[in-house]
A and B are shown apart, each in its own frame.
Chain A
């Protein structure tokens, strides 16, 4: 198992958790924080895909 594959999985987890944190912020009406975490989630998911495809 190569480190880059594990990094891709790590980015997938980070992306999902970021969206989850963003949802929590949105629920607490912290909209700017929510936006930040949604963007972070999207970038992390994209990074996960880029690493898997290398």
Chain B
């Protein structure tokens, strides 16, 4: 850790004002739920609003659409008191109401949804998933307890590739859904892609963080639990790949 960062962290713990404080610093100091407003509003505006508020949409569809933005705004309001609950309200409130709006929207409106808007929406949902799943980015060091971490250089190198890999995989999940003509199945694929994307980005973040553990076990040791999960994963992957080769799919 550089001396500059140490100094700023110490100043933050003492409650001293930080350089560049203002609305931007305030925004950066807020949690993930507040920071998710920007990508969430973008995703909602591009993909849900035109469908939910289209001509011919029922009142129920309009209510579901409005609930999405309401959940997004409600999250940061309750964030200070109920941090975990705010993530549920903001993240899953927007996702759930969007699914409801898409399900209830008129068939003709969904059919007229163009590919360019779909791709723009995909990026928006990807960014939203990333913001909700990732820890909030704090630039202000006020109240922040910093524990110096001295990872080995070889381990540190894996961080960025692992995180980028997670993002690439999460974005790739968005592709198959756009080739399906049947409305219900396309919707199901959107939900699966969203849930899968959040899961993969979360695991990628946790794996990258695990490489930095201060109390990391010796490199050669492997717990029984890890061995069991690895064995099960290898067995399932092997059986699935073997079946695909046997059927001539791969």
Contact = CB atoms under 8 A, between A and B. Distances in A.
Interface residues of A, number: 43
Nearest to A16: B169
B226 A1 contact: no
Contact of B180 (A8, A14, A27): A27
A54 B229 contact: no
Given A24-B176, A27-B177, A1 B237 contact: no
B232 interface: yes
**Chain B: interface secondary structure?**
helix
Interface stretch (B10-18, B60-68, B114-122, B187-195): B187-195
B196 interface: yes
B155 interface: yes
A38 B237 CA distance: 11
A18 B243 CA distance: 14
Contacts of A24: 176
Contacts of B154: 1-2
Interface in B201-229: 203-204, 206-207, 210-211, 213, 216-217, 219, 221-223, 225-226, 229
